């Protein structure tokens, strides 16, 4: 499954913060990084943990959102 990862610079925190819109039941932002690449890597790790935890608990995974389609 492919989930949305939103990465934004936060002046307040002086780092890139990560939001996972499909996982509304998880405190947002879910992770951060000093660089964009670090934030993205951390986001992938958090996503893996969230998916693994949901499967282990027998929970239904959220449906991936589709914001737009490239032609």
Q: Is residue 63 part of a domain?
A: no
Kindly tell me if the per-residue pLDDT of 69 is higher than 70.
no
- Pick from 3, 7, 52: nearest CA to 28: 7
Q: Is the pTM of this model over 0.75?
A: yes
Count helices and strands in the chain by DSSP H and E runs: 1, 3
Per the domain annotation, does 44 fall within a domain?
yes
**Within a 10 A sphere around the Cβ of 32, how many other Cβ atoms?**
18
Q: Is residue 30 part of a domain?
A: yes
pLDDT band at 7; cut points 50, 70, 90: very high
Cα–Cα distance measured from residue 59 to residue 61, given in angstroms and rounded to the nearest whole number: 6
In a domain, residue 65? The reply is: no
pLDDT at residue number 5: 95
The mean pLDDT of 49-58, rounded to a whole number, is 96
- The number of folded domains in the chain is 1
What residues have CB less than 8 Å from 47, skipping those under 6 apart? 3, 5, 20
Q: What domain range includes position 19? A: 6-56
39 found inside a domain: yes
Residue 61 lies in a domain: no
Is residue 40 situated within a structural domain? yes
* 66 against 70, higher pLDDT: 66
């Amino acid at each position: 499954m492919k989930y949305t990862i939103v990465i934004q610079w936060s002046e307040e925190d002086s780092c890139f913060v990560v939001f996972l819109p499909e996982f509304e039941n998880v405190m947002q932002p879910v992770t951060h990084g000093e660089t964009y690449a670090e934030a993205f890597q951390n986001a992938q790790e958090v996503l893996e943990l969230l998916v693994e935890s949901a499967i282990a608990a027998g929970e239904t995974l959220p449906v991936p959102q589709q914001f737009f389609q490239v032609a």
